[in-house]
Amino acid sequence: MAEFAATRAADAAVTDLRDPALLPAWEQVDRIREGRLTAAGLLEACLARVERHNPHVNAVVTLNPRAEAEAAGVDAALASGEDPGPLAGLVVGIKDVTETAGLRTTYGSPLYEDHVPEEDALVVRRLRAAGAVILGKTNTPEFAAGGNTWNEVFGVTRNPWNPALSAGGSTGGGAAALATGMISLAQGTDLGGSLRIPASFCGVAGLRPTPGLVPTVPSAYLWDHMQSTGLMARSPDDIALGLRAISGHHPASPVCAPEPLWPEPGTADLAGGRWAYCGDVARIGIDGGAEAACREALASFRAGGARVDEVDLDLSWAWDAFLVLRGHWFVSHFAAELHRVDAFGPNVSANLRSGLALTPAEIGVAENVRRRVREELLVLLERYDALLTPCMAIPPFPAEQNYPETVGGRPMKTYVDWIAATFLLSMPGLPVACVPAGLDAAGLPVGLQVVGPPRGEGRTLAVASAIREARPIGLPPAVTED
């Protein structure tokens, strides 16, 4: 693997190395391969963290009863001189909308509370083939519809930095599990920000890769070019490690993307970076604490030798087009369920009703708006290595609240309006990362989005790694004080 050497030094500075569950994923793999740690030992440490923190944050909703046997298999392979794969022994959480053979997958819906798939999703098969150990399933809103993680099956997932607050969504269980050391990597999906919103709220890293880089199979909407399957981790280089193992074309999927170009060692530097920054691409305003943390981060980047230019990028004109495409997406996914629209929760049913009311002309116009968003960003990225913008306009809100009703005093009309800064950047199909940029005055994480060029996962993660090195925030106090 092309390692981010500079970031490894930062990892050692901010991580409690006494507990193997809190080590960077790359170091967990190194130690297991070198015999300084066993896969069984890492799993035991992660399960101890589940026992300690899960009652407070509700991140892991179903444990894998075969996890110990999977870890033992990794150790047995190494003992016999076999290579178990590049993720040897890493402990992974699977979002509860992703199928796992023989392990309950509820989609966060009472309609599927007892559903047990017969086959693994492709991404799970690839994780297993790479030597990962599946800890279990992580919480999600019903069918991943929502920026706050709650459902009627398992309840609310809470923020490890403050359990009274939201962990974000829809991969909120994965983010909370990472921040508390329950897992090494979190698998998830991202349509409008589901790998970035919880990363920002929980102080971890997330990447929405190019759609099709990790094929989403099985899927009722097989030609889906809006949603991405990807990963979160405690650092961008851990995401790179995992993404290498799960990316690549599969004949079952007609949506594919070229494998990413990866950076070489030493490229995760501030010096020489050419970055654009926009404080509010959605024109919904931004919380003062979040803006202050981002401004402090920009000053750090410039002091480290990066060129950061502020640009006036207004994508609010594409807002309605995303809502059209999202409605079409839901109808395409739930075509076999349209006879019971009202049986789903409020978020899913509202999207289905919205999608059913669309006309072909509205969908066609929205697709053309999406094209224009991509063209505008490609022009910008001809001049810059990446675009930076705040991930969330507001800090985490009360965990029991479905969504914030206002942002800066402006009423939100739908449950997704407050995440416009993420869903507008989903539209062009470019890689987008989220990485912590600092803490606000209340001690809560503030994330920056990093938008890279086409086929630019490597560059995107390298920029995110440089940001993390410049602005380390550590782990939640409840974790480091154990």
Q: Choose the catalytic residue: 95, 109, 166, 235.
A: 95
For residues 49 and 476, what is the distance between their CA atoms, to the nearest angstrom? Answer: 13
3 state DSSP class of 439? strand
Rounded to the nearest 10 degrees, the angle between the axes of helix 457-470 and helix 288-303 is 100
Q: Do 358 and 327 form a contact (C-beta atoms < 8 A)?
A: yes
Backbone angles phi, psi at 115, to 5 degrees: -75, 130
Give me the residues paired with residue 189 across strands.
229
Q: How far is CA 384 from CA 1, 311, 432, 452, 453, in A?
A: 26, 11, 15, 9, 9
Q: How many C-alpha atoms does 10 have within 13 Å on its Cβ side?
A: 21
For residues 83 and 88, what is the distance between their CA atoms, to the nearest angstrom? Answer: 8
* β-pairing verdict for 185-190 and 162-166: unpaired
What 8-state DSSP symbol labels residue 454?
Answer: T
* β-pairing verdict for 133-138 and 91-95: parallel
For residues 16 and 344, what is the distance between their CA atoms, to the nearest angstrom? Answer: 43
Residue 344: which residues within 8 A CB-CB, separation 6 or more?
109, 111, 142, 143, 337, 352
Check if 413 is active-site: no
Q: Do 322 and 426 form a contact (C-beta atoms < 8 A)?
A: yes
Check if 194 is active-site: yes
For residues 184 and 19, what is the distance between their CA atoms, to the nearest angstrom? Answer: 12
Q: Choose the catalytic residue: 109, 194, 200, 253.
A: 194
CB atoms within 10 A of CB 358: 16
Helix runs in 266-409, H state only: 288-303, 319-333, 346-356, 360-381
Q: Choose the catalytic residue: 109, 137, 166, 170.
A: 170
DSSP string, 228-240: EEEEEESSHHHHH
Q: Do 202 and 188 form a contact (C-beta atoms < 8 A)?
A: no
Check if 137 is active-site: no
Give me the residues paired with residue 410 across strands.
407
Q: Among residues 24, 458, 480, which one has the least CA distance to residue 234?
A: 24
What 8-state DSSP symbol labels residue 435?
Answer: E
Q: Catalytic site residues?
A: 95, 170, 194
